A and B are shown apart, each in its own frame.
Chain A
Amino acid sequence: MKKIVIAAAVVALVGAGTAAAQVSFARYVALGDSITAGVASGGLMQFYQERSYPGMLAQYAQANDFQQPLVSAPGLPPLLELQSFYPPAIAPSSNTPGQPVNLALARPYNNLGVPGFTIYDMLNTVGDVNNLIAGTSTEPEADLILRTPAVEVPPGSGNYVPFPAITQAIALDPTFLTMWIGNNDILGAAAYATPIDGVTMTPLAAFEAMYAAALTTLTSQTTAPMVVMTIPDVTAIPFVTTLAPYLDVPGVGRVPLIGSGFPPGSPPGPLPEDAYVTLGASSLLAQGIGIPLELGGTGIPLPEDLTVVQAQAVPGVVLRQEEVQVINARIAAMNNAIRSLANAHGIPVLDVNAFFDRIVSGHPYVVGGVDLTADFLVGGIFSYDGVHPQNIGHGIIAVELIDLVNDYYGTNIPQVNLDEVLCMGGCSNPGPPAFALSKEAVYTEEAFAQLLDLFPVRLPQVHSTRNTSTD
């Protein structure tokens, strides 16, 4: 396949677009990470991409020609599937990924959300479709979505400039922008169950500076009205909250699982009741790891924190309350930065953090008398990876986003039809199982590895001092 040249886009790089007297969705562009990209159940797939919150906003605002880097089923990487609800088994649905079906678009995509991207990546990281085609991608999502590492400005000058997501967004001369970035600047701390500044989380000052730079760039180089979004509590997602730190043994009661010890270097011991065991522990528990000998386990402790073994990052699977507090304090500080920076630019903020907090603190999102919650598998909001929303989750985010846009910008975008989201193909009698029940067990090792691939961890710094301060 020949190299794709995004020539049309380059022209728009020179100078900002025309001022819009009122909000237009002629060219809506979404910046962000895996959530914005529409990742669900661990992968990118057309069905969920089209039903991502940017996809729904575009649909209901009747945005013109909203293009996404669509991938055919079973997705890239193949989406996780629920093989059995009880006993639970979640694993990749296939060994063969789906194919990009919109790779030849001769301009940047409107949805520039890239799985795994931090604020740094949004500003700097580029992708090259040739790597994808050659099968040499180290970051296939970036190569799939950004495609062109550099563009010639002006054309024919021989002067090439990098073409990261933010520059591609500007090149589209957007008439409306959403930006939901920063989740991956903290999510690694939950995914690896270890908050370490510079390794699993972006240092606050750096985050703030990059976020400020992003807003300054976007507001100075486009005239697009904009919405930014806060970072939800990553310790309240099903990936973290589903498993108990103990086994409930009939006739015996709660028997704590065994952890490797906290703080790191402490001797192994029973986990306290308020510890979180992530879904990453699931496949280990299935092997008896973390389970006391007297209950038939191996007695080998669960790895609580990120370690490096032969230059490979080995994730931790236990979040202690001390770690949760560090993560939450950081999220609060990041969101304060987001709000005050957005305020300074007159940009409205969709407070996803507050919205999600309400749901996880006992106020389900009610739809027609049905409670949608953050519960794993049956809550309706999250997909099988326990981290990303599925289309119902995206639907309710889109409802909130449309409310905010209508309120703030005086637009009259019709609301999302949640009946269509909840009841696609009919709500009742879903029919026979789509696949055979139960393989061995659990959220498999492959499923966990697939999820971790989505989160950045800066290995060279992994030996840096563990930071448990709250900044």
Chain B
Amino acid sequence: MIAMSRRQIFLAAAVVVLAPTLTWGAGFALFEHGNRAMAMGGAFTGLADDPSALYWNPAGTAFQLDEGVKVMAGVTFITATQDFYGDSPYPGDGYEASQEDQVFFPPHFYVVYPLGDRIALNFAMMTPFGLGTWWDEGHAGRFISKRADLKLYNMSPGIAFKVNDNVGVAVGLDYGIGQVDLTRNIGLVNPYTQQLADIGQVHIHSDDLSNDGFGWNASIHAKLAHGFSVGATYRSAIEVDFEGVGSFTQYPTGYPDFDAVVGSIIPFGQKANLTSRIEFPEYWTVGVAWTHEQWTVSGSYGAQGWSSFQSLPINFTEHPELSGEEEFNYEDVDQYRLGAEYRASDTWAFQGGLLFDNTPQPKSAMSPLLGDGDRTGISVGFSWSHGAMQTDVGYLYLMFDERGTDGTSLSNYNGRYETQANLLGASLTLRF
């Protein structure tokens, strides 16, 4: 008899934002698309002398024309550890959680195909985004995120042109395929116990490889006197319009009437279509390298344009009441990279590097979805050449500044994140 309509509207309001925001891609960006370049701290824009130039500076391939057709393929294995130390009021002083162990292995593949002595036809495939976060099922931040994965595969055909013996330029197309996978719990106060209850889970994912978008890149490389070379590259943003599915799973609370009311509002057991849009931001980099006898020293600066990345909606097509949108104020990031290579012989070369990479994420936005921080990296590696084949092995150790939300967390999940990552990879280059 009692009018339930308003109550039900209220209950819907209480669970309305079921969709996690997607503005967290920042910390999932990868810059490791060639293991020799990685071993040099990624300071490769001004050097660009192997096929991984197709990421760092495609114009560099204009100076690789006399080496024949080159194919590089490789993979970088990435493991990260992240520990979280909570603050009160939530999740509370003394609370600790750690991310589950995961290994990511973004691949890269490059072809440089000389056409005459001034043009290179290029093709690149790399994964400029390819990381994820994964916390224990019961961790206190499970209503924000349990597991998140974001991938962008970039297939990039392009052409490089050698203007003269000193200057090369290149342009290319970036075709991106994005994948997203997010899982979190839905929390609501159980009216019987008056305590927080897990009433279900929402899993949002893109089903197939059909979510794509286009971008472009342009670059220039110049060889100067006294062994100096410089380069600059711009890679545009890639906007990917996503179509995906939200799957809702109900967790029974033990109170059938409560579960029934909750079940009448959230489409449990169904797949709800959704749309969203992710903008993978623009990136530009400039660099310089100096080669003298057995030594090369290089440095570069990079900037990624996260500041345009303010708010992204997730819209459930048939359930607009479940849609959500959140805003964050991300900042542009700067990267500084230094590298060196010592060619001990025709067969062996050794690399080392150092990098500083700022996070675009304001501390108020740090959460179990992504708790990023400024990074310092040190790297080492070696190359082994044998005939028409070269093998590059690189290792990078990334230390993240320990960083806390200092009570500013937008989702009121405050604490400190301690993060480090190890990256180890190998690339194989063949010349034909």
Stretch from B5-13, B337-345, B396-404 contacting the other chain: B5-13
Task: Report how far A288 CA is from B1 CA in the complex, Å.
Answer: 8
A366: chain B residues at CB < 8 Å are 410-412
Contact call B194/A375, Cβ cutoff below 8 A: no
Given A85-B191, A367-B90, 7 other A-B residues pairs in contact with their CB atoms under 8 A: A368-B91, A369-B411, A370-B196, A390-B194, A417-B89, A427-B195, A437-B257
When distances are taken between beta carbons in the complex, the residues of chain B under 8 Å from A285 are 1-3
Residues of B within 8 A of A380 (CB): 189, 194, 196
Contact among A247, A282, A370, A415 for B143, CB-based, below 8 A: A370
* Selected contact of B187 from candidates A241, A370, A438, CB within 8 Å: A370
* From B89, B197, B261, contact of A416 by CB (8 A): B89
Does A104 count as interface, using CB distance less than 8 angstroms? Answer: no
Q: CB distance B261 to A86 under 8 Å? A: yes
B93 and A369 contacting across the interface, CB-CB below 8 Å: no
Q: List, in ascending order, chain A residues with CB within 8 A of B412's CB.
A: 365-368
Residues of B142-184 at the interface with A, using a CB-CB cut-off of 8 Å, are: 143-144, 184
Closest CB pairs A-B (n = 9): A380-B189, A369-B143, A415-B88, A369-B144, A370-B187, A377-B191, A417-B92, A375-B10, A419-B92
Q: Per a CB cutoff under 8 Å, which of B2, B255, B367, B413 touches A282?
A: B2
Number of residues on chain A facing chain B (CB within 8 A): 65
Q: What B residues does A367 contact at CB under 8 A?
A: 89-90, 412
Q: Are A430 and B1 CB-contacts (below 8 A) given A369-B144, A369-B184, A371-B14?
A: no
B192 within 8 A of A: yes
Residues in B with CB closer than 8 Å to A427 are 187, 195-198
CA distance in complex: A366, B92 (Å): 14
Q: Does B354 contact A (CB under 8 A)?
A: no
Closest CB-CB distance, B263 to chain A, in whole Å?
11
A419 in contact with B90 (CB, 8 Å): yes
Main secondary structure of the interface of A (DSSP, over half): loop
27 interchain pairs (CB within 8 A)? A85-B257, A242-B6, A243-B6, A244-B3, A246-B5, A248-B4, A285-B1, A285-B2, A286-B1, A364-B14, A369-B144, A371-B17, A373-B13, A375-B10, A375-B13, A378-B14, A383-B194, A396-B89, A419-B86, A422-B195, A427-B195, A427-B198, A428-B138, A428-B197, A430-B255, A432-B254, A441-B2
Chain B positions 398 through 425: 1 when the CB is less than 8 Å from some CB of chain A, otherwise 0: 0000000000001111000000000000
What CA separation (Å) do A241 and B10 show in the bound complex?
A: 10
A residues with a Cβ closer than 8 A to B are 82, 84-88, 241-244, 246-248, 257, 282, 285-286, 288, 291, 364-373, 375-380, 383, 390-392, 395-396, 399, 414-420, 422-425, 427-434, 437-438, 441-442
Chain A residues whose C-beta falls within 8 Å of the C-beta of B4 in the assembled complex? 86, 248
Q: Which chain B residues lie closer than 8 Å to A242 at the CB level? A: 6-7, 10
Contacting residues of chain B (116-137) with chain A, CB-CB under 8 angstroms: none
Query: How many Å from the CB of B265 to the closest CB on chain A?
Result: 10
B295 an interface residue at 8 Å Cβ cutoff? Answer: no
Interface flag for B31 (CB, 8 Å): no
Q: Report A183 CB to chain B, min CB distance, Å.
A: 21
* B254 and A433 within 8 A (CB): yes
Name the A residues within 8 Å of B138 (CB-CB): 428
Known: A368-B412, A369-B187, A370-B196. A243 touches B90 (CB 8 A): no
User: How far, in angstroms, from A377 to B188 measured CA to CA in the complex?
Assistant: 10
| Chain A, Cβ-Cβ closest to B7 | A242
B257 CB, min distance to chain A CBs, angstroms: 4
* Complex: A179 Cα to B294 Cα, angstroms: 78
Q: Closest chain A residue to B5 by CB distance?
A: A248
List A contacts of B87 (CB < 8 A).
415
* B10 engages A419 (CB within 8 Å): no
How many whole Å from A175's CB to the nearest CB in chain B?
A: 24
- With contacts A85-B191, A243-B6 taken as known, whether A433 is within 8 angstroms of B255 at the C-beta atoms is yes
Say whether, besides A82-B191, A419-B90, A434-B192, A291 and B1 are in contact (CB < 8 Å): yes
B237 → chain A closest CB, angstroms:
28
Let me know if A416 and B411 touch, CB within 8 A: no
Q: Once bound together, how far apart are the Cα atoms of A257 and B5, in whole Å?
A: 14
Nearest chain B CB to A423's CB is how many angstroms away?
A: 6
Is B283 engaged at the interface, CB distance under 8 Å to the other chain? no
Q: Are B3 and A246 in contact, CB atoms less than 8 angstroms apart?
A: yes
Closest B residue to A431 using CB positions: B254
In angstroms, Cα B258 to Cα A367, docked, is: 22
Closest Cβ of chain A: how far from B412's Cβ, in Å? Answer: 5
Contact B90 A418 (CB under 8 A): yes
| A296 to B, closest residue via Cβ | B1
In the complex, what's the smallest C-beta–C-beta distance from A257 to chain B, in angstroms?
A: 8
A373 — which chain B residues lie within 8 A by C-beta? 10, 13-14
Q: How far is the CA of A364 from the CA of B255 in the complex (A)?
A: 25
Least Cβ–Cβ distance between B46 and chain A, in angstroms: 44
Residue of B nearest to A248 (CB): B5
B225 in the interface, Cβ–Cβ < 8 Å?
no
CA A242 to CA B8, docked complex, whole Å: 10
B141 at the A interface (CB under 8 A)? yes
Q: Are B197 and A414 in contact (CB under 8 A)?
A: no
Asked if B209 is an interface residue, CB under 8 A from chain A, the answer is: no
Smallest Cβ distance from B196 to chain A, in angstroms? 4
A435 CA to B193 CA, complexed, in Å: 11
Contact A375 to B143, CB < 8 A, known contacts A243-B2, A244-B6, A437-B257:
no
Pick from B15, B86, B190, B413: contact of A430, CB under 8 Å: B190
Which residues in B have their C-beta under 8 angstroms from that of A84? Answer: 257
- Take A430-B195, A433-B254 as given contacts and tell me if A369 and B141 are in contact as well, using a CB distance cutoff of 8 Å: yes
Closest to B252 in A: A429
In the bound complex, what is the Cα–Cα distance between A375 and B2 (angstroms)?
16
Residues on the A chain within 8 Å of B261, using CB: 85-86
> With A82-B192, A367-B89, A368-B413 given, is the CB distance from A375 to B197 under 8 Å?
no
- A368 B90 Cβ-Cβ under 8 A: yes
Q: Given A286-B1, A370-B187, A427-B196, do A417 and B93 touch, yes or no (CB 8 Å)?
A: yes
Instruction: Give CA–CA (A446, B92) in the complex, Å.
Output: 39
A425 → chain B closest CB, angstroms: 7
Contact yes or no, A417 B141, CB < 8 A: no
Please give me the residue from chain A that is nearest to B88 by CB atom.
A415
CB distance from A448 to the nearest CB of B (A): 14
- For the complex formed, measure the closest distance between the CB of B324 and the CB atoms of chain A, giving whole angstroms: 11
* Interface residue B140 (Cβ < 8 Å from any Cβ of A): yes
Shortest Cβ distance from residue B89 to the other chain A in the assembled complex, whole angstroms: 4
Name the B residues within 8 Å of A86 (CB-CB). 4, 257-258, 260-261
How far is the CB of B114 from the nearest CB of chain A, in Å? 54
Alpha-carbon distance A369/B186, docked complex (angstroms): 9
Known: A368-B90, A373-B14, A417-B88. A379 touches B197 (CB 8 A): no
